[in-house]
Amino acid sequence: MIKIRSSEGEEFTAYLSLPPAGKGPGLVLLQEIFGVNAHMRSVADSYAARGFVVACPDLFWRQEPGVQLTDKTDQEWQRAFELYQGLDEAKAVDDAKATLFHLRQHPACTGKVGAVGFCLGGKLAYLMATRSDVDCSVGYYGVGIESALTEAAHISHPLMLHIAERDKFCPPEAQAQIHQTLDTHPLVTLHDYPGQDHAFARAGGEHFNNEAAELANRRTLEFFLRHLGGEYVKRSPEAI
């Protein structure tokens, strides 16, 4: 774990994972609603194994520092939604930006830094594209992006969004709004996954789909290769 200074001057933690070569482009990994748990740390380690310097900030630190939940029990789901509903989104984006700044100063980072997020983090990845100078961003099944589409005019770096067709947290009308606003944006790439549900790329999750996850992860890695550079280790993409 590393400590990062927030915009208010307080410190919060982030899980840091370094690449085998000791140097590479940075990635701000933005958590799901379950905190920086074993799954998110595994995702960070998988990206690091491919050549990235990865930092996954604790976005719930103002409510409950170090929370780690799973998607296996109703009680944990309830607590996860409580934390999600209690999150100050603007401050969460500020924390992601502070993590971005920290990574750019890290001796192992080449200076280029992207962002990738899942669920809650998927929307934050979109907001990083609209509110920061992150070099590129990827969002997996982001929740609530349709409520922030007025910010699309501020996107100045490449953005990729993965959209699950059957995602109850991003229903058809929301998906239609996202496409209507972003389809023609020159810096935005949208990918739809027919028949897939929310969190289709979460290994071990209820809706995990190996084929869809592999496709989304391969697209993401190729996107980062184009926009961040670096020498990436080739591994099976579904394992992210």
Burial label for 58, CB within 10 Å (0-12, 13-18, 19+), is buried
Give the span between the Cα atoms of 53 and 230, in whole angstroms: 11
Pairing mode of beta strands 11-17, 53-57: antiparallel
Pairing mode of beta strands 11-17, 2-5: antiparallel
Beta strands in the chain (DSSP E): 2-5, 11-17, 24-30, 53-57, 109-118, 136-140, 159-164, 188-193
Give the span between the Cα atoms of 44 and 52, in whole angstroms: 9
Please indicate whether residue 167 is annotated as part of the active site. yes
Which residue is catalytic, options 39, 198, 207, 227?
198
Which residue is catalytic, options 71, 135, 167, 197?
167
Residue 164's DSSP bridge partners are 193
How many helices (DSSP H) and strands (DSSP E) are in the chain?
6, 8
Please indicate whether residue 191 is annotated as part of the active site. no
Give the span between the Cα atoms of 220 and 189, in whole angstroms: 11
Burial label for 220, CB within 10 Å (0-12, 13-18, 19+), is buried
Q: Which amino acids are annotated catalytic?
A: 167, 198
